[in-house]
Amino acid sequence: MSFQDVLEEVVADISAYRGQGKVAAYIPTLARADTSKLGVAAVLGDGKSHAVGDTDEAFSIQSVAYVFTLALALQHHKSALWNHVGREPAGSPVNSIIQLEMEKGRPRNPLTAAGSLVVCDQLIGRRSADEALEELLQFIRTCAGDDNIAVDETLAMSESKAGALNRSLAYFIAAFGNLQNPVEQVLSFYYRQCSIAMTCRQLARAALFLAFDGTDPVTGAQVTIPSRSRRINALMLTAGHYDNSGDFAFRVGLPGKSSVSGAIIAIAPGHGAVCTWSPGLNAAGTSLAGAMALERLVERTGWSIFV
């Protein structure tokens, strides 16, 4: 059976879950998303992409962006980044401020909103937020092999307006001295990274280097060094899906990152990268149909990293 056939069977298998779950309600654009949408795209080591469903429709990548921002910030700061953010799973719902207080403004890991705010601040460094964002966009465009990727600035603005909780998190971190740039600068960068518009196909391609120890198997370019690639995967495995990261590891068995727009990227080391998109979310904020599709895909391919 061809890989394309496998993808198609996977999508057929989980059709009952299409339209299930709830969209994220706090941002008007996301609140209007069509939960019947479903796309599954995979890019394998040979660079070929396979796609089923709504894989060429763009959506805001939201917290999937954290992964790329983290990869880039690690290139700049190397292990010094860990002075500002931990690498332990959070053990609490998305955006909880409780642990942030207990741990005195040092977020537990870079794949939570609080943690990503700190990573954004570090990536900005002494530059303007605009300059840093341009670097991030260029990085993602290179990874995806597509120069058309851009920020949906209207969305970024509307998210920033609705973003009282993240603003609270940012000021809380600042109160503990863990932001070097003005809070509004950091938030501006943060919301624009979340508002980068991409398709499933683009995202799977952009994440491909993480399946090949940091090197793009198509271009041969080393995007990041091997040890860093492994570590980003480890962080996604333990903390990539809010408070159902453990469940995702248990059921799917691949490093991955969920976003509230309904996207999930998953990394199958040595095989390829997959991106699913379906806006209906489970109670913990992960795409319901997307996670189900990935679970089936791994069952059929044997790609679990735990065997």
Which positions touch a copy of itself (CB under 8 A)? 86-92, 96-99, 101-102, 108-109, 164-165, 167-172, 174-175, 183, 213, 226, 229-231, 233-235, 237-239, 243-247, 249-250, 253, 255, 269-270, 304-307
Sign of the dihedral defined by the CA atoms of residues 99, 100, 101, 106, in that order: positive
Q: CB of residue 36 vs a copy of itself: minimum separation in angstroms? A: 29
Q: By three-state DSSP, how is residue 42 classified?
A: strand
Considering beta carbons, is residue 196 or 239 the nearer one to a copy of itself? 239
Distance CA 304, CA 307 (A): 6
Minimum gap (Å) between residue 48 Cβ and a copy of itself: 21
DSSP assignment string, 83-107: GTS--S---S-TT--HHHHHTTT--
What is the torsional sign of CA 81, 103, 69, 254?
positive
Rg of the chain over Cα atoms, rounded to whole angstroms, equals 18
Q: In terms of CB distance, is 47 or 86 closer to a copy of itself?
A: 86
Shortest approach of a copy of itself to residue 296 CB, angstroms? 13
Which CB atom, from 202 or from 224, has the smaller least distance to a copy of itself? 224
Q: Least distance from C-beta 305 to a copy of itself, angstroms?
A: 4
| Count of alpha carbons within 13 angstroms of residue 34, beta-carbon side | 8
Residue 240 CB, shortest distance to a copy of itself, in Å, is 10
CA separation, residue 182 to residues 76, 85, 113, 161, 186 (Å): 20, 18, 17, 17, 7
One-letter amino acid of 244 = N
**CB-wise, 38 or 211, nearer to a copy of itself?**
211
Of 2 and 306, nearer to a copy of itself (C-beta) is: 306
Whether residue 213 contacts residue 222, with contact meaning beta carbons closer than 8 Å, is answered with no
Minimum Å distance from CB 178 to a copy of itself?
10
Nearer to a copy of itself, 1 or 102 (CB): 102
Closer residue to a copy of itself, CB minimum distance, 124 or 235: 235
Residue 23: which region, alpha, beta or left (left: phi > 0; alpha: psi -120 to 50)? beta
For 247, other C-beta atoms within 10 Å of its C-beta total 14
| H helix or E strand, kind and range, residue 43 | strand 39-44
Supply the minimum distance, in Å, between the C-beta of residue 26 and a copy of itself.
Answer: 9
